[in-house]
Structure 1
Amino acid sequence: MSDHHEYRWALPSVLLGDGSAGRPVRRSTRDWIVDILMFLAACGITLMTAPELEGIPRALVVTEQVAGVLSCVAVWLRRRWPVGLAVVTGVLSTYLLMVGGAAVVGLFTVAVHRPFKVSGLVAALGFVTIAPYALLRPDPELGPAGTATLTVAILLTVFAWGVVVRARRQLVWSLRQRAVIAADEAKRLERERIAREMHDVLAHRISMLSLHAGALEFRPGAPPEEISRAAGAIRDSAHQALQDLREVIGVLRHPSSSGDENGPVPLPPQPTLADLRSLVEECRQAGMKVSFTMNGFDGDAARAAGGGDAAVPDALGRTVYRVVQEALTNARKHAGGAPVGVTVAGRPGDGVTVEARNAVWARQSPRLPGAGAGLIGLTERVGLAGGRLEFGSVAGGDFRLHAWLPWAS
């Protein structure tokens, strides 16, 4: 996992405005407002305890006042040292009255900025200090029991409030993270979709270029007419490859047709089942020996569904086209000169079957490099369509590619 993602997942324990782990405090405008309110709350609680100082020794009054002022000032350090502030003020509140405001703010801060395993211990320490406080400095009207009960209620309320605030922050953070992850996943899938399209389009064109160039290389003494036709075919294939590349890359430079720049990138017009015959004829003109058969699509079932190729859904027809295109491309790259047999058959309800077979021993041109990404991407494409793809050597030394795709009745 990258550092960027590690930082994201670390956010719940290091919230904005938290200066823990030696980090400088980064307060937002909202943080400044909250800190001012917390400081005023601590000062207000401290001033409310001032009347209770009457009748006690002068030295203790001065100690109370100094401790109260220092504890209120220390509230501004609550983001950098929340646990330290809560522990120190909690211990001092065992006997001193005027640090109570800062102790309450410290407990709330720990509950918000620290996990329960830390804030729970700090809260437990606060509850432990209640007993000596209630015995040594009880409220004249409530008595020790009433003072302890009131203090427990205040601490429980403050602690529960802080835990709720922390839980809400974590929930908001979690929802934001899910949105970020979903956006990242959408971008990844979009990149894969564009990559598959570029491979499907360009691999076919480039293999055609190689086929024509290989024919010129192995027949340097061919008649000028044949050389001229091959050169023209190379020029046309190169032009088509550049045009296809321009179309695929061009859509990345413009917002989607919906006007949403973050929406899916529209791709150029996609092939359908009706383009299969043109694909096979193009390969034949390039010198490939291709036998092509289509069964079922022109039958009664297809006509009942809408008539011939038009009855096949566009998505299904596009996937069938890509399967045949990849099979012919692989045959040109790895078995140049070998005859290729392609059979496409299908009916609504039964699905569509595509089978391509060629010998792997026949060679008339050098083997073109390949990384196997085409078959991997094709397997993913067929799987996304709900189908199955199998490929590999079979008895007799032939290479066989077999795909089945569902076709709803």
Structure 2
Amino acid sequence: MNSATWGFRLPRTRRTVAVAVSTAGIGILIASALFGATRSAAPASVRLDVAVAVAALAAVPLVMVRPVPGGILASLLVALSPVATPAVSFAVLFTAQHRPFRRALTVALAGTAGAAVQGMWRPVRGLPYGWWLLLMTAAFGALLGWGTWARARHALVEALRDRARRAEQEQELRVAEARAAERNRIAREMHDVLAHRLSLLAAAAGAMEYRPDAPPERLSAAAGVIRTSAHQALNELREVVAVLRNDDPDAPADEPPGQNLADLPRLVSEARAAGQSVEVDDSIAPPVEIPPLAGRTAYRIVQEGLTNARKHADGQPVTLALSGAPGAGLRIAVRNPAPPGAAPDRDAGSGLIGLAERAALAGGRVTHRVGDDGHFHLDAWLPWSA
């Protein structure tokens, strides 16, 4: 323990019980020493021993609250009578357990000095003074070493417990961070999937609303797009929500199927079926050679570009250009006329922010701007290892 008062480390009830039990135990030892010292002593010595015994017993609670002053008092008492030996021994041990070594050494030296004085005027029969002093010194030294070892062991155990608590807290923090990252990933997935599908629904429904006189086959095709997009949106939403049911944050999350560069033709076909004019300039062949991470990220970038075009420039043509090669990287460019009044440096929405994060995780980058030509430019570069 540190230099704080020992008594304040325990609740009041436990502190009272500890003092009472210790006082009772030392009292029994003092009574035994008093009985041995008064069997053949003179009446004056008996009265002195009784007085010292009472004072030594009263010093025990003081030792537990203030070990050093209590130990010095017990050392003075042991100089007067051997009945105080249990009290001073307890003081040395207790101080070594609960105070720094220097303070405990002071109490041990005081107790040795008191025993030396006692041996001078009340020698032990049959034991030379030198041997008596050596035995008392060894006894107090043993108590000092025992208490110091107990204090060091207690400090080590507390340090290990504190380290274990910190390790547990750090583990909980890592788990919380992993779960937060997973929730952010799921939020991006839900945005990408639902925004794309709902924009297709809106485009098809808008075509049916504004062209009720369209040929029946056109209306039937638009209704088919609505039905197909709604069905696929539900399926993809189920796949994303399934990730939420995975309680293990360290488990790898499966990407929903149909999310790589090889599926771009299907994505473009869905957009065209919803009435969106999409022109594709693809100079990459074959696309299956692109690494999976880059392919999935590229798919999401194109999907978000088409979705933004439907949301902000509905009915306007979109140009999609793909280029690149192993070692040079994969470049994606999406162009569409900007809506009237669009600022060249307008803030990015949550979808574009998510794309920037996706590209950064894949080692790439995404930029967007409204050019001088009045078109919105979405450009991306992704690494493509050779």
Bin of the TM-score, shorter chain as denominator length:
0.7 to 0.9
Aligned in 2, Cα 1:207/1:127: closer, same or farther, shift over 3 Å?
farther
Q: Which residue of 2 aligns with 1:281?
A: 269
- 2:191 and 2:318 map into 1 onto residues whose CA distance is 21
CA RMSD of aligned residues (A): 4.0
What is the CA deviation profile of residues 303-349 of structure 1, one whole-angstrom value per residue up to 9, with x for unaligned ones? Answer: xxxxx222222222111111111111111111212221111112111
Question: Match for 1:392: what amino acid?
Answer: R
Q: How far has the Cα of 1:224 moved from its partner?
A: 4.4
Kept in 2: contact 1:46–1:100 (CA 8 A): no
- 1:49 and 1:314 map into 2 onto residues whose CA distance is 84
Q: How far has the Cα of 1:377 moved from its partner?
A: 1.3
Aligned pair partner of 1:342 in 308, 312, 320: 320
Question: Match for 1:312: what amino acid?
Answer: I
Q: Which residue of 1 aligns with 2:72?
A: 94
What is the CA deviation profile of residues 242-299 of structure 1, one whole-angstrom value per residue up to 9, with x for unaligned ones? Answer: 12112222343467xxxx797344443252211011111211111111111111x32x
SS at match of 1:181: helix
For structure 1, which segment, 151-160 or 266-275, has the greater mean C-alpha deviation from structure 2 after superposition? Answer: 151-160
Q: How far has the Cα of 1:189 moved from its partner?
A: 2.0
Q: Which residue of 2 aligns with 1:311?
A: 289
SS at match of 2:378: strand
Aligned in 2, Cα 1:341/1:166: closer, same or farther, shift over 3 Å?
same
SS at match of 1:279: helix
Greater helix share, structure number: 2
Q: Which residue of 2 aligns with 1:322?
A: 300
Aligned in 2, Cα 1:382/1:48: closer, same or farther, shift over 3 Å?
farther
Aligned pair partner of 2:334 in 350, 353, 356: 356
SS at match of 2:275: coil
Aligned in 2, Cα 1:106/1:250: closer, same or farther, shift over 3 Å?
farther
Q: How far has the Cα of 1:389 moved from its partner?
A: 1.2
After superposition, where does 1:382-397 map in structure 2 within 5 Å?
382-397=359-374
What is the CA deviation profile of residues 72-92 of structure 1, one whole-angstrom value per residue up to 9, with x for unaligned ones? Answer: xxxxxxxxxxxxx85434432
What is the CA deviation profile of residues 128-167 of structure 1, one whole-angstrom value per residue up to 9, with x for unaligned ones? Answer: 4445434334584238976775565444333322222222
After superposition, where does 1:39-58 map in structure 2 within 5 Å?
55=37, 57-58=49-50
Question: Match for 2:272: what amino acid?
Answer: R
Kept in 2: contact 1:104–1:158 (CA 8 A): no
- 2:200 and 2:152 map into 1 onto residues whose CA distance is 72
After superposition, where does 1:104-119 map in structure 2 within 5 Å?
104=93, 108=97
5+ residue gaps, structure 2, are: 3-7, 38-47, 75-85, 120-131, 342-346
Q: Which residue of 1 aligns with 2:125?
A: none
Aligned in 2, Cα 1:316/1:22: closer, same or farther, shift over 3 Å?
farther
Q: How far has the Cα of 1:124 moved from its partner?
A: 5.4
SS at match of 1:337: coil
Aligned in 2, Cα 1:194/1:128: closer, same or farther, shift over 3 Å?
same
Question: Match for 1:204: what amino acid?
Answer: H
Aligned identity (percent) is: 38
Larger-Rg structure? 2
Aligned pair partner of 2:218 in 219, 222, 226: 226
- TM-score (ref. length: structure 1): 0.69
After superposition, where does 1:105-254 map in structure 2 within 5 Å?
108=97, 125-138=103-116, 140-142=132-134, 152-253=144-245
SS at match of 1:395: coil
Q: How far has the Cα of 1:205 moved from its partner?
A: 0.3
For structure 1, which segment, 92-101 or 379-388, has the greater mean C-alpha deviation from structure 2 after superposition? Answer: 92-101
Q: How many pairs align?
A: 337
Aligned in 2, Cα 1:351/1:64: closer, same or farther, shift over 3 Å?
same
SS at match of 2:72: coil
- 2:251 and 2:30 map into 1 onto residues whose CA distance is 61
SS at match of 1:95: helix
5+ residue gaps, structure 1, are: 1-12, 14-18, 26-34, 72-84, 111-118, 299-307, 364-369
Question: Match for 1:280: what amino acid?
Answer: V
Kept in 2: contact 1:293–1:343 (CA 8 A): yes
Kept in 2: contact 1:251–1:267 (CA 8 A): no
- 1:265 and 1:24 map into 2 onto residues whose CA distance is 54
Q: Which residue of 2 aligns with 1:292?
A: 280
- 1:49 and 1:386 map into 2 onto residues whose CA distance is 79
Q: Which residue of 2 aligns with 1:380?
A: 357
Aligned in 2, Cα 1:197/1:172: closer, same or farther, shift over 3 Å?
same
Aligned pair 1:272/2:260, yes or no? yes
- 1:24 and 1:374 map into 2 onto residues whose CA distance is 62
Aligned in 2, Cα 1:129/1:107: closer, same or farther, shift over 3 Å?
closer
For structure 1, which segment, 230-239 or 218-227, has the greater mean C-alpha deviation from structure 2 after superposition? Answer: 218-227
- 2:70 and 2:12 map into 1 onto residues whose CA distance is 27
Aligned pair partner of 1:331 in 309, 313, 329: 309
